Amino acid sequence: MLACGYHQRLGDAHAEVVVLEQLGEAARGADLVVTLEPCSRYGRTPPCVDRIIAAGIKRVVVGVLDPNPRERGRGIALLQQAGIDVILGVEEEKCRQLNEPYFKYMATGRPFVTLKLATSLDGRIATRSGDSNWFSGPETNRFTHRLRRDCNALLVGARTAALDDPSLTVRHSQPRTRPLRVVLSRSLNLPLHLKLFEFQERLPTLVFTGKGSSASGIEALRTAGVSVAQVSESETGLDLHEVLERLGARGVARLLVDGGGRMAGAFLEASLVDRLFIAYSPVVVGQDGLPSFAMPGVERLVDARRGFLEWTRKSGNDVLASWRLGPEYWRGVP
């Protein structure tokens, strides 16, 4: 292998260009292996296909076609027209998995939803008084910020926003994008001094509320520079499907839900969770503690929602586990 590279953050050079810049003239006559079909149109960066052709690459090995209908197959065709040998479909399924949020977004127009929870050994996210500081250790906290780094938007409910007053920023690592901060609030009873509402020009916040919310509450937030969007609601809360559609329309392809048990239960009950990360801390809270998923129970185990375990790993004194819960939309891309 002569060189390797990856797309570090939105707006930066794609992996192909990173590699070609490392190689210089050594790229002429070489093979280039990529997970995703090279782009062929101008976007935030120039087309990678043009750079590949100009560099004199002899052969390109492509894992999977780009699911974007504007790109799909076009890059391959341009490479072949330029006399470059193309091999397609090598480790295709693994390459789809590497890019699964993008594949889901292209197939559905909705973001890939990751839900993160920090719980006790008995599945509680706080004591009965609401105390949850600090469940997880510093290693797990750094892992959480790596999750934030890789997302376009971070979402919490109004209760978490008011009680915990999170800033929902990325620390400990350089963000690939600047995630949009999102709050769901039916009542709009949100103090304007919350950290979520600071630095709106640099760190914007979007509040989703119901269509029947008070005009004065909406105006107060907008006067503070906060964006407000109204969606449908029911007796149980805001329409989460509509929330995801609206976020997708804003270009959000990766969403991290980092709220409390009510929010986790709502997303799980609506079957909107694609991946679940749970950080188990070595503490027992007891039966009066707040549950991880505040949602109606089932009578029979056969009716319970199930997933499958991807991996577990030690994180300081905690244990991290990754579970898959959602339908794999990206597999159905034609």
pLDDT digits (tens, 9 = 90+) for 270-320: 999 999 999 999 999 999 999 999 988 889 888 888 788 899 999 999 999
CB contact at 8 A, 154 and 139: no
Looking at per-residue pLDDT, the higher value among 206 and 98 belongs to 206
Q: Kindly state whether residues 138 and 245 are assigned to the same domain.
A: yes
CA separation for the pair 334, 330 (Å, rounded): 9
Q: Kindly state whether residues 125 and 184 are assigned to the same domain.
A: yes
Question: In the prediction, which pLDDT does 176 show?
Answer: 60
Q: Kindly state whether residues 138 and 210 are assigned to the same domain.
A: yes
Share of the chain above pLDDT 70, in %: 95
Mean pLDDT of the chain: 90
pLDDT band at residue 177 under the 50/70/90 scheme: low
pLDDT band at residue 23 under the 50/70/90 scheme: confident
Mean pLDDT of the 24-52 span = 92
Which of the residues 16, 37, 71, 100 is marked catalytic? 16
Q: Kindly state whether residues 240 and 276 are assigned to the same domain.
A: yes
Domain interval for residue 166: 102-332
Instruction: Give this prediction's pTM.
Output: 0.89
Active site residue 37: no
Q: Which two tokens stand for residue 80?
A: 């072949």
Count of structural domains within the chain: 2
CA separation for the pair 59, 80 (Å, rounded): 10
In a domain, 7, yes or no: no
Question: In the prediction, which pLDDT does 331 show?
Answer: 40
pLDDT by residue (tens digit) across 156-176? 999 889 888 999 998 876 656
CB contact at 8 A, 286 and 266: no
> What are the start-end ranges of the E strands in the chain?
31-36, 59-64, 85-88, 112-119, 124-126, 153-157, 180-184, 205-210, 227-231, 233-234, 237-238, 254-257, 275-280, 290-291, 308-315, 318-324
Q: Kindly state whether residues 282 and 242 are assigned to the same domain.
A: yes
Q: Kindly state whether residues 91 and 235 are assigned to the same domain.
A: no
Q: Kindly state whether residues 280 and 262 are assigned to the same domain.
A: yes
Question: In the prediction, which pLDDT does 175 show?
Answer: 57
CB contact at 8 A, 262 and 240: no
Q: Which two tokens stand for residue 123?
A: 């599945």
Q: Which of the residue ranges 86-95, 103-112, 220-229, 297-306 would you say has the lowest mean pLDDT?
A: 297-306
